Amino acid sequence: MSVSKFRSGLVLMAAAAAALTISGCAGNKRPRLAYEERPVEALYNTGYQRLEQRRWADAVDYFQEVERQHPYSDWARRSILMQIYAYYQNNNYTDAIAAADRYIQLFPGNPSAAYAFYMKAVCNFEQITDVGRDQGYATAALAGLKDVARRYPGTPYATDAAVKIDMVNDQLAGKEMNIGRYYQRANQPLAALNRYKAVIANPEFQRTSHTPEALYRLVEVNLQLGLKEEATRNGAVLGYNFPGSPWYAEAYALLTENGQTPEKAPEAKRESWLQRIIPG
């Protein structure tokens, strides 16, 4: 299952909070390449107006001009934040990440660094592709989101990161399942077995939507390998944890056809479901 792209309201609210516009007049003319000194308030506010008009590239030009003419100022610091947001809205994720890295390097102790860390993770999150392709962005997004949750607990950034972490884990578990199915179709049961076990052995993947199917596929592959007791144990774990799942109904039917009865584990004798699948 691929991760859907969406625009979080947190992105805009955080940008506005981190870099408030300052009232004042400003021209509508796009900055020239040649240096022409102008009041910093005019440059910054014109860039902000371009953001409100959704003219993302024009906004970046003005915020860059603020940096160019007034380096090391508080205006320049705010302008980097606004560039991150403008690049992101323009789907220019590479430049957004570069701007976020620049902000983190220049102002690591500033409270608004939280926004830079968050946006860097979100830019990778937005580039996640379907499970049939390389998951490099998913891996980078997961690392970045976990970093945000660790650095800024209790903040809106951490809250949103937690939601996205679950989505990315579902994506990565889906990738393992996709590869496992490929190996299973190619009559490589051992390779498939390892992929399915990777899903149920990873505590973060265990909470994803792919776990019931992974347990069912373990039943299938173990029966194919002649490991009926192992298949029955996987079926019992599936039945205990997901009794209403269609995957359990299919596993029960398959095991019954092979002369096995996947009884559910009694509550008093219940083991960790991971121990039941992978003893020791």
Q: Is 200 left (phi over 0), alpha (psi -120 to 50) or beta?
A: alpha
Each domain of the chain, given as residue ranges in start order, spans: 7-107
pLDDT confidence tier of residue 148, bands split at 50, 70 and 90: very high
Residue 62 has pLDDT above 80, yes or no: yes
pLDDT, residue 35, reads 54
pLDDT digits (tens, 9 = 90+) for 72-111: 899 999 999 999 999 999 999 999 999 999 999 999 999 9
pLDDT, residue 36, reads 58
Which superfamily does CATH assign the domain made up of 7-107 to?
Answer: Tetratricopeptide repeat domain (1.25.40.10)
Q: What is the pTM of this model?
A: 0.78
Q: Which residue has the tokens 């490929």?
A: 182
What residue type is assigned to position 3 of the chain?
V
Q: By mean pLDDT, which of 15-19, 32-36, 238-242 is the weakest?
A: 32-36
Whether the CB-CB separation of 103 and 81 falls below 8 Å is answered with yes
Q: How many other C-beta atoms lie within 10 A of the C-beta of residue 242?
A: 17
Closest CA to 10 of 143, 144, 121: 121
Round to whole Å and give the CA distance between 82 and 72: 16
pLDDT, residue 118, reads 98
CA 214 to chain centre: 21
Round to whole Å and give the CA distance between 271 and 243: 17
pLDDT confidence tier of residue 158, bands split at 50, 70 and 90: very high
pLDDT confidence tier of residue 129, bands split at 50, 70 and 90: confident
Continuous segment of H or E residues that includes residue 14: helix 9-18
What residue type is assigned to position 149 of the chain?
A
Burial status of residue 181 (CB atoms within 10 A of its CB: 0-12, 13-18, 19 or more): middle
Average pLDDT over residues 9-24: 52
User: What distances in angstroms separate CA 64 from CA 55, 78, 188, 222, 257, one per listed residue?
Assistant: 14, 11, 55, 60, 69
Q: By mean pLDDT, which of 15-24, 118-127, 173-182, 214-223 is the weakest?
A: 15-24
DSSP-H helix ranges across 225-264: 228-241, 246-257
CA 196 to chain centre: 21
pLDDT, residue 263, reads 65
Q: What is the DSSP letter of 265?
A: P
